[in-house]
Structure 1
Amino acid sequence: MAKNGFINGALQAGTLFGILAVASMAELASGGGGGHDYAMALRKSILYFEAQRSGVLPPNQRVAWRASSGLFDGKSNGVDLVGGYYDAGDNVKFGLPMAFTVTMMSWSVLEYGKQMAAAGELRNAMDAIKWGTDYFIKAHPEPDVLYGEVGDGDTDHSCWQRPEDMTTSRQAFRVDPQHPGSDLAAETAAAMAAASIVFRGTYPGYANLLLVHSKQLFEFADKYRGKYDASITVARNYYGSFSGYGDELLWAAAWLFEATEDRFYLEYLAGNGDALGGTGWSINQFGWDVKYPGVQVLAAKFLLQGRAGEHAAALQRYRQNAEFFVCSCVGKGPVNVPRTPGGVMYHQRWNNLQFVTSASFLLTVYADFATMSGRGAVRCPAGAAQPFEILKFVKSQVNYILGDNPRGTSYMVGYGASYPRQVHHRGASIVSIKRDPSFVSCQEGYSAWYGREAGNPNLLDGAIVGGPDEYDDFADERNNYEQTEAATYNNAPLLGVLARLAGSCGGLKEEEAEAAPLANRTSSWSRHTAPSPIEIEQNVTRTWARRRRTYYRYSVTVTNRSPRKTVRELHLGVAELRGRLWGLDEARYGVFQHSVEEVDLSGHIAVDEEWLAYLGSFRYLRVLKLAGCKNVTNSAVWALSGMSTLKELDLSRCSKISDAGIKHITSIESLERLHVSQTGLTDNGVVAISSLKNLHFLDLGGIRITDKAFQSLKVLTLLEHLDIWGSEITNKGASVLNAFTSLSFLNLSWTRVTCLPILPTVRSLNMSNCTIHSICNGDTNVLIHLEKFVISAASFGNIAEVFSSILPSSLTYLDMSSCSLSNLYCLENMKNLEHLDLGYNRITNDAMEYIADIGVNLKFLSLSNTEVISQALCVLAGTVPSLTTLSLAHTKIDDSALLYISMMPSLRILNLSHTCIKGFMIENSEKILSMSALEELKHLESLNLDGTQLTDDVIPPLASLRALKYLFLQSDFLSDPALHALSSASNLVHLGFCGNILSSSGLLKFVPPATLCVLDLSGCWILTGDGISAFCRCHPLIELRHELIQELQKKCGGTSQLRKSRQPQQVKAKVAKAKLADICFVDERIKYSKEELMELQHLVKSNSLMYAVQLPPELQRSI
């Protein structure tokens, strides 16, 4: 069993979690990425687009299992919209991702067309682009009209049909001056401008036509501004425009300048960089929604090519952000993109590979731009990134996709020996209409084809699926759309990268083979983690075999390393226990069956049917958490059906659980808390849940529940907590919410609910990413007593009407981040507000009066990424006496703000990162250290000044902040004296000094405060291994972080000679109350959280203590 028991001694071979994990990664590291046929991958990747075609297929169609479809698109609207691409595994034509796809295909051809031609694929690539641009010409029948969607995602997703059999709605949706869509129109303009360059040499007339449409669309987008999903609302739940339209306007301008050399577009790009975010946003993600990194790379290209002219200064700011993107991706930036254990970049579970392919393209072209311009390396905080290093990293990402990963799975369908067979794709999963022309109805597709365990009958050759999760795990199941659905925008950016790799014979130049070591992956440590007072060393001492099973005996040494503490009690636990324990027979297993009340196995893929059969015998188990256990199936859940004491069951993110599994659970009448978010449930499973009448807590997040199914839940009158984010519920379904008379928590984020009924008992409401028209049915005579209201990225019909139904004095927590607000009059009379998040809004100085008026009880305030400047803080000074946390990150405040901040006496956490603070001001020609003002903050514990312009001479005042425990300093101007000045910071626990100019001699002269536990010097590239080693020997209790640490540990044979481990070991336990006769065994009731388990995983193996167990004779000696 996992995570249960203080059991000592011999464990079966399957328990060697730590050792096996290390062996697996070592094998992966040594396996190289050679041997891939990039030309074949390129051919397949282009071929995939033919499977996505809509309209009348041409005679040279190579994907033979497809036939013509969507032949009446646009007819009901009086326009011809036949053609274009289906975006992914459904049958809808979404304009925004389609336009991005065409833009990226065109860019790939423009940069690497010669390599495509050498591979014999340039004509096919141009045909793929033209299939898209032909459709865009049709979709743009008038200068100020653009059709942005054909089909309805809601009705489409209720059916599983071949595109040739479609019976779903084919309504077309458009943007126009009354219903603007700047992002959609500008992205389409960018696509047509880029494509015009592709066709300029072969079809000049067609290229000119594309330019005409592109210019008209750009003018339309810029003149009538607005987000397209506010006009085409049916797109919001599928391709919502979360980044707004500023990035697309700049993107279109850049491509029009590239296509025309018209300085008007360059001036637009340079002059609107601040207003539209191009020079302000530093982002490490690029895709169909967020175009800023793409704009920044294009602008950098113009600069490097000497085309900037008088706009060089503005384009230099674009270039800085482009290099932020590059550095973050290759692991040398201030905020690095996380990576999985297998080494691929990781952003999110749902279709993560779209960001890997798009980033790989930008990295490739930027490295080539840098090389061709003669500029060489990209300067990053963690050291220079040479072009060949960048390209080598890109190659590792491509190789991972093609199969060089821990699973050995190619995530390109049809490439390699092992690839996904159950791609979430309607056309591929149903027999070809050419083989069986029988009509497949809407529901027949689901019943006969969607649930089949066999692979798809049609090969979706070349498609790149969503890919693995953060642990490199992947479930090849058709209903696992987050991982197995492919999309056109996954493939489009990779065309150029594959062509580039194929053109260089699949590898890098010989002289580039020895690249610098990869920077460390983004670590998961917390800035506020306290050090452990102990060091644990564990070793295997003996092995033996019995009945074809191999057992291992472990010894453990615990050393007290704390100079100030005495360890009075210590519990050691077993983690990831997968096999039997030596000497633990069925009678002794009873100690668990009678004592364990709570088991948390969240996120562990080893948990399967056998595990649940064992857990099903735990007679007094009250809480079972299996969230993210991907091998838990419907049949496995059957083992839990007889558990009469179970109160809470968590099956969140168990992708193999569907309606059949839920039916087993409905027999557990004792259940009070049920988590089934992001599983394979449908309406039938939700209806089955309605039989669990004792439920108080129900999490159905991420399940596409319809109104009809949701209404069946109204019998659960005891519900207090209801989470239905991401469902298909509309106002009709929400009308039954008042049946839950005890409901206090409600999450409706990402739903289609716009109006709520009167819910007098609800205290916490989340409607993030919703369009909100009213609550309480718009009845202004009724006031609900909301305490927590989360509406991040929401839009409003009338914000005043929404807040008119909430008792202002009841609110204590309000998150209105990313709501595009410029006025805060809705905050009036919220005198009890304690938490207020206004980040990413258009708030200016005028709005600060509203905050000051309700500031008396505020404890948390975020104004990050707003337009607030220093003078605005004057209003807050003296009006927020209880404020403990303030974030002003990424604003334009300067040193004059520090005086006002010093008048906030309760501040404990202050984030001033990426602001204009320099640490001094000039008054009457005299330099005054502005940091001295912070000495008034007697309780300040955490201060973040990363990304500011501090110099060495302004640091000493920070050392006098007596309460300061966490300090983060990163500036291009800090060096040895700044570090030395902090020796007198008497209570400092964590010091971040990343990316500064620190020498080895300066490090060795640093006398750290006695309290210092962590010194983070990541990116201090002048440091040498010898200097770091010497410092670690002198200060073994300080955890020093730097890129060279890993290399030094390998040379030292581990961590013991370099520094002492201070990882926390905090394992919770209950002392057993039950007494079991004749069993001399430690009866403990164990409760592990996932975080506690993860803290143990870095050890060779967790150990524990066993009594009254007979070891083999050769091992019978005192422990």
Structure 2
Amino acid sequence: MIATKLLFLLHLVFAPLQEKDQELYIRINQLGYLPEDTKVAVLFSHQAKVETLSLVNAESEKEIIKIKPSKVNKDNWGGFHYWEADFSKVKSEGDFYLISNKSKHRSPVFRIGENTYQNHQETLLEFMRQQRCGYNPTLDMVCHQKDGRSFFGPMPDSTFVDLSGGWHDAGDQLKYLITSSYATAHILMAYEMYPDRFEDKVNALGQPIPNGIPDILDEAKWGLDWLHKMHPAPDQLFHQVADDRDHRGFKIPNQDNSDYGWGENSYRVGYFATGKPQGLMSYQSEATGVANLAGRSAAAMALAARIWEKDLDDPIFAAKCREAAKSLYALGRAKEGYQQGNSYGAPYRYNEETWADDMEWAAAELFKLTGQNDYLDQAKEYALKSNTEDSWTVRDSAAHYQLYPFINLGHYSLHSLVDEDFKKTLEGYYLDGIKYTLARAESNPFHIGIPFIWCSNNLLTSLVTQVILYEKMSGDKSFEPFLTSQRDWLFGKNPWGTSMFTGIPDGGEYPVEVHTSLFVLLGLEVPGGLVDGPISKHIYDNLIGLTLLNPDKFEKVQNEKVVYHDDVGDYSTNEPTMDGTAGAILMMTHFSGER
């Protein structure tokens, strides 16, 4: 009897270990692949040996090929053994899954086809509409009409200036020119590169009524209108509305309990861009100028002037944007340097320290708009000044948003305007970053090239975009396997087997318990939002205010390198951001194919 009880107790102790040792995790891009893509699954297990796999057609249940996985001899995150299963030779269209031949572990069903990514850029725009401040079509409500009361400006402090509109930054309800200028310009560049790939399903307010204008331009116009308000005179620029006094728990936008001195749900502070350090309490910014904000905003306005003149036949709005582009660029020339975000009582803010890349982009777009050679000469000067030192792609770490935006789109904009030697210089800047990240990718089993700092997914979509633009500039397609590895991580080829976009793919594993008021208070799941993404364990352990609210469903696959949680309490990895989502639109549109 004693022996029987002892055996039973030993079974209770060791059964979980045995079960854990037997698990085989198969990680693929849940959304799927284009027929010509490199297609590689990552497998990992605590067992030292791996089974053969079969690729099976999900509809006919017929085996397509057998695959013998190859061992990955790299840093074994989490103490797992890793393998790769390459099925790139399969180009036939359909729905498939991978299954291990003995234990019958299987992957989610995924698609191979030309239309795998079709129209998902529209899904991202759905999330952008949900971030709107002013009239919000997702909630059918109006909020923050009293934005804002000015500080640090040439007008007396607390003077009312109409800064309503724009986009809420993330799960919070702040508004930043830092992120909104980039989001607007990125959206416009995506449209200009792929004008035939966007739908018209909503009107300017985001209501489900077609208006004859592609929805991407309706969204860009929402950003442009706010940028105009933030630049009320040729020599004036505001850079932020509200601050961390916003962070008083989850709240519905039109019931904002934050108090900036005029009572709850009332006026919010509007910070004027002086180019000097700002802050109302102990955490001061380190601003040196305004060229980062003025440059990005000027690039957006120049792009808009061309598009509204040529494609939308609206010369009045085009002329307004043209004049704003010129005055913003002149403001950047007069105050070269960077304006950072402001905090009130928290140590976190947007720490941008670059600006030459933004002025390069602005000057290139203004040359395209005006044909004035001074702009072209200055764009080239700024390109050389920005070089690769302004890029996170050639560094191993950076502070939060220190090297923002996470891709220099000015290099691509300028490339078509210069001689062959300068073209090679610009291509080399992108190539240096690609090679550096590729070398980093060689050290980990998922072949990922980014440092896992806060908002790592923004880095990843930017790296994907950089490879896409480098291919277009140089014709060099040799980095396609690296490109697809970075993209596939975003849709499930990662330790947690999850997409990093809410609601994509339909029926897949994706973020649900996101750090947003609309989910917490209304249970609202809005598709298309890119969450911050995995963060290094070291950074995660040193952040304040992180408390998981539910058991970690990914506990068995967490590792000592990077962590991710689908949990409302983890604002560091599971908060969808406006600029992160906007920054993925060009990437998503590129893979979408013809509409």
Fold shared, TM-score > 0.5 on shorter chain: yes
For 2:172 and 2:411, the matched residues in 1 are separated by 35
Match of 1:465 among 512, 531, 541: 531
For 2:430 and 2:519, the matched residues in 1 are separated by 38
Q: Secondary structure at the match of 2:340?
A: helix
- Paired residue for 2:303? 194
For 1:210 and 1:196, the matched residues in 2 are separated by 5
- Paired residue for 2:333? 222
Match of 2:293 among 156, 162, 184: 184
Q: Shift of residue 94 of structure 1?
A: 1.2
For 2:359 and 2:452, the matched residues in 1 are separated by 26
Q: Secondary structure at the match of 1:308?
A: coil
Residues 25 and 355 (structure 1 numbering): CA distance in 2 closer, same or farther, change over 3 Å?
Answer: same
- Paired residue for 2:426? 318
Q: Is the 8 A contact 1:283 1:324 kept in 2?
A: no
Q: Shift of residue 166 of structure 1?
A: 0.7
Match of 1:496 among 581, 586, 593: 586
Deviations 1:649-694 (A, max 9, x none): xxxxxxxxxxxxxxxxxxxxxxxxxxxxxxxxxxxxxxxxxxxxxx
Match of 2:488 among 377, 386, 399: 399
- Paired residue for 1:68? 142
Q: Is the 8 A contact 1:92 1:151 kept in 2?
A: yes
For 1:261 and 1:33, the matched residues in 2 are separated by 46
Q: Shift of residue 70 of structure 1?
A: 0.9
Q: Is the 8 A contact 1:42 1:498 kept in 2?
A: yes
Q: Is the 8 A contact 2:129 2:219 kept in 1?
A: yes
Q: Secondary structure at the match of 1:19?
A: coil
Q: Secondary structure at the match of 1:167?
A: coil
Residues 341 and 199 (structure 1 numbering): CA distance in 2 closer, same or farther, change over 3 Å?
Answer: farther
Q: Is the 8 A contact 1:281 1:321 kept in 2?
A: no
Q: Report the residue type matching 2:357 in the other structure.
A: D
- Paired residue for 1:150? 241
Residues 86 and 360 (structure 1 numbering): CA distance in 2 closer, same or farther, change over 3 Å?
Answer: same
Q: Shift of residue 215 of structure 1?
A: 1.2
Match of 1:19 among 10, 34, 47: 47
Q: Report the residue type matching 1:397 in the other structure.
A: Q
Residues 300 and 45 (structure 1 numbering): CA distance in 2 closer, same or farther, change over 3 Å?
Answer: closer
Number of residue pairs the alignment of both structures matches: 438
Q: Is the 8 A contact 2:292 2:358 kept in 1?
A: yes
Residues 463 and 81 (structure 1 numbering): CA distance in 2 closer, same or farther, change over 3 Å?
Answer: same
Deviations 1:198-227 (A, max 9, x none): 323212321221121111111111212343
Deviations 1:873-900 (A, max 9, x none): xxxxxxxxxxxxxxxxxxxxxxxxxxxx
Q: Report the residue type matching 1:426 in the other structure.
A: S
For 2:482 and 2:21, the matched residues in 1 are separated by 34
Residues 485 and 338 (structure 1 numbering): CA distance in 2 closer, same or farther, change over 3 Å?
Answer: farther
Q: Is the 8 A contact 1:151 1:172 kept in 2?
A: yes
- Paired residue for 1:346? 450
1:39 equivalent to 2:118? Answer yes
- Paired residue for 1:243? 353
Residues 95 and 298 (structure 1 numbering): CA distance in 2 closer, same or farther, change over 3 Å?
Answer: closer
For 2:199 and 2:368, the matched residues in 1 are separated by 22
Match of 1:357 among 461, 469, 492: 461
- Paired residue for 1:97? 179
Deviations 1:543-596 (A, max 9, x none): xxxxxxxxxxxxxxxxxxxxxxxxxxxxxxxxxxxxxxxxxxxxxxxxxxxxxx
Q: Report the residue type matching 2:369 in the other structure.
A: A
Q: Shift of residue 112 of structure 1?
A: 1.5
Q: Shift of residue 254 of structure 1?
A: 2.6
Residues 233 and 212 (structure 1 numbering): CA distance in 2 closer, same or farther, change over 3 Å?
Answer: farther
1:79 equivalent to 2:161? Answer yes
Q: Shift of residue 176 of structure 1?
A: 4.0
Match of 1:175 among 251, 258, 273: 273
For 1:13 and 1:233, the matched residues in 2 are separated by 49
Residues 302 and 351 (structure 1 numbering): CA distance in 2 closer, same or farther, change over 3 Å?
Answer: closer
For 1:324 and 1:178, the matched residues in 2 are separated by 33
For 1:468 and 1:162, the matched residues in 2 are separated by 27
Deviations 1:308-333 (A, max 9, x none): 25xx655543332122123334x2xx
Q: Shift of residue 266 of structure 1?
A: 1.3
Q: Report the residue type matching 1:74 in the other structure.
A: G
For 1:289 and 1:194, the matched residues in 2 are separated by 25
Q: Shift of residue 488 of structure 1?
A: 1.5
Q: Is the 8 A contact 2:455 2:535 kept in 1?
A: no
For 2:530 and 2:483, the matched residues in 1 are separated by 16
Please give the residue correspondences for 1:914-993 in structure 2 after superposition, counting only pairs within 5 Å.
none
Q: Report the residue type matching 1:351 in the other structure.
A: C
Q: Secondary structure at the match of 1:103?
A: helix
Q: Which has the larger radius of gyration?
A: 1
For 2:345 and 2:228, the matched residues in 1 are separated by 21
For 1:390 and 1:102, the matched residues in 2 are separated by 28
- Paired residue for 2:403? 290
Please give the residue correspondences for 1:531-542 in structure 2 after superposition, counting only pairs within 5 Å.
none
For 2:454 and 2:373, the matched residues in 1 are separated by 40
- Paired residue for 2:250? 160
Q: Secondary structure at the match of 1:114?
A: coil
For 1:282 and 1:167, the matched residues in 2 are separated by 38
Q: CA RMSD in A?
A: 3.4
Deviations 1:154-194 (A, max 9, x none): x1123321211112131110114778422222222222223
Q: Shift of residue 14 of structure 1?
A: 4.1
Q: Shift of residue 271 of structure 1?
A: 2.9
Same amino acid, percent of matched pairs = 22
Q: Shift of residue 234 of structure 1?
A: 4.9
Deviations 1:1045-1075 (A, max 9, x none): xxxxxxxxxxxxxxxxxxxxxxxxxxxxxxx
Q: Shift of residue 353 of structure 1?
A: 0.6
- Paired residue for 1:55? 134
Q: Report the residue type matching 1:399 in the other structure.
A: D
Q: Shift of residue 301 of structure 1?
A: 5.7
Q: Report the residue type matching 2:146 in the other structure.
A: F
For 1:79 and 1:142, the matched residues in 2 are separated by 12
For 2:230 and 2:119, the matched residues in 1 are separated by 34
- Paired residue for 1:421? 512
For 1:283 and 1:475, the matched residues in 2 are separated by 25
Q: Secondary structure at the match of 2:142?
A: coil
Please give the residue correspondences for 1:827-866 in structure 2 after superposition, counting only pairs within 5 Å.
none
For 2:354 and 2:376, the matched residues in 1 are separated by 21
Deviations 1:1016-1067 (A, max 9, x none): xxxxxxxxxxxxxxxxxxxxxxxxxxxxxxxxxxxxxxxxxxxxxxxxxxxx
Q: Which range moves more in the overlay, 319-328 or 95-104?
A: 319-328
Q: Secondary structure at the match of 1:248?
A: helix
Q: Report the residue type matching 1:290 in the other structure.
A: L
- Paired residue for 2:196? 114
Q: Secondary structure at the match of 1:74?
A: strand
Q: Shift of residue 409 of structure 1?
A: 1.6
For 2:435 and 2:309, the matched residues in 1 are separated by 35
For 1:77 and 1:427, the matched residues in 2 are separated by 32
For 1:115 and 1:427, the matched residues in 2 are separated by 30
Deviations 1:774-816 (A, max 9, x none): xxxxxxxxxxxxxxxxxxxxxxxxxxxxxxxxxxxxxxxxxxx
Q: Report the residue type matching 2:520 in the other structure.
A: S
Q: Is the 8 A contact 1:337 1:347 kept in 2?
A: no
Q: Shift of residue 414 of structure 1?
A: 1.3
For 1:421 and 1:114, the matched residues in 2 are separated by 32
For 2:367 and 2:21, the matched residues in 1 are separated by 61
Q: Is the 8 A contact 1:39 1:119 kept in 2?
A: no
Match of 2:375 among 265, 270, 274: 265
Q: Is the 8 A contact 2:500 2:533 kept in 1?
A: yes
Q: Is the 8 A contact 1:144 1:176 kept in 2?
A: no
Q: Shift of residue 361 of structure 1?
A: 1.7
Q: Shift of residue 71 of structure 1?
A: 1.0
